[in-house]
């Protein structure tokens, strides 16, 4: 196994974005790709690590960039300022995700008929919105993501399979939001799953999440279980 990593610049309109990607050079030919969508801080080492792990599984891992090359929040205020325009304009989320999808499909190692996307927190919302556009992706996985439907896509035609991995006690994603998501997916005829982890709150995959009072806490069990659920899901959709 020889994991190769690099970055690639790409455009969404006039905005220059920079993705990190990884693949196993010991594998010959084209293979499935998995987009990795970051949390509110921006493309960080967290998503780069996930891209490397996906490469070890035999995929091309592509840690996309929602904000622009070099933009990374350091404080809650900075992260909120970076994310806010996308929360207020979901069409921008969808446009930016489609730009990443177009870019990864052009990489020479990628089988463009087998692409999926995973996302964490804000990134979970992003990959769900990618699916809602009707994009040609096999499946999407949201880790502790916002499940709220966008206002600009009514009755979306979703062809991707959907897996939502959710902390049951997440105060940022209350039961009403979960129920609305389940109804949305069912009404759209989606092949969907939602795994809820008990005694688990927001950001359960992030070892740096320690503010339980604010609803953010890493969970060893939920992290391991959700990772296994993702691996099983990817194996299924790419079979």
Q: Where are the chain's structural domains?
A: 3-237
pLDDT digit string, tens, across residues 51-72: 999 999 999 999 999 999 999 9
Pick the CATH number of 3-237 from 3.20.20.80, 3.40.50.2300, 3.10.20.30, 3.40.50.1820: 3.40.50.1820
In three state form, how does the secondary structure of the chain look? CCEEEEEEEEEECCEEEEEEEEEECCCCCCEEEEEEECCCCCCCHHHHHHHHHHHHCCCEEEECCCCCCCCCCCCHHHHHHHHHHHHHCHHHHHHHHHHHHHHHHCCCCEEEEEEEEEEECHHHHHHHHHHHCCCCCCEEEEECCCCCCCCCCCCCCCCCEEEEEEECCCCCCCHHHHHHHHHHHHHCCCCEEEEEECCCCECCCCCCCCCHHHCECCCHHHHHHHHHHHHHHHHHHCC
Give the pLDDT of residue 1.
Answer: 74
Model confidence over 165-217: pLDDT tens digits? 999 999 999 999 999 999 999 999 999 999 999 999 999 999 999 999 999 99
């Amino acid at each position: 196994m020889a994991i190769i990593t690099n970055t690639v610049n790409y455009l969404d309109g006039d905005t220059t974005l920079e993705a990190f990607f990884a693949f196993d050079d010991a594998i010959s030919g084209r293979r499935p790709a998995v987009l990795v969508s970051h949390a509110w801080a921006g493309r960080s080492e967290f998503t780069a690590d996930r891209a490397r792990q996906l490469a070890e599984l035999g995929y091309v891992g592509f840690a996309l960039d929602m904000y622009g090359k070099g933009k990374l929040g350091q404080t809650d205020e900075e992260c909120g300022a970076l994310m806010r325009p996308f929360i207020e304009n979901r069409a921008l989320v969808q446009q930016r995700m489609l730009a990443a999808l177009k870019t990864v499909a052009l990489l020479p190692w990628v089988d463009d008929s087998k692409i999926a996307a995973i996302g964490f927190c804000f990134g979970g919302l992003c990959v769900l919105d990618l699916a809602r556009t009707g994009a040609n992706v096999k499946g999407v996985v949201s880790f502790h993501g916002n499940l709220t439907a966008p206002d600009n896509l009514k009755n979306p035609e979703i062809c991707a399979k959907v897996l939502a991995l959710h902390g049951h006690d997440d105060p940022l994603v209350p039961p009403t939001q979960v129920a609305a998501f389940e109804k949305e997916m069912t009404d759209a005829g989606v092949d969907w799953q939602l795994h809820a982890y008990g005694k688990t709150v927001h950001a359960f995959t992030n070892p740096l999440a320690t503010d339980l009072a604010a609803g953010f806490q890493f969970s060893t069990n939920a992290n391991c279980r959700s990772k296994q659920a993702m691996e099983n899901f990817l194996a299924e959709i790419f079979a």
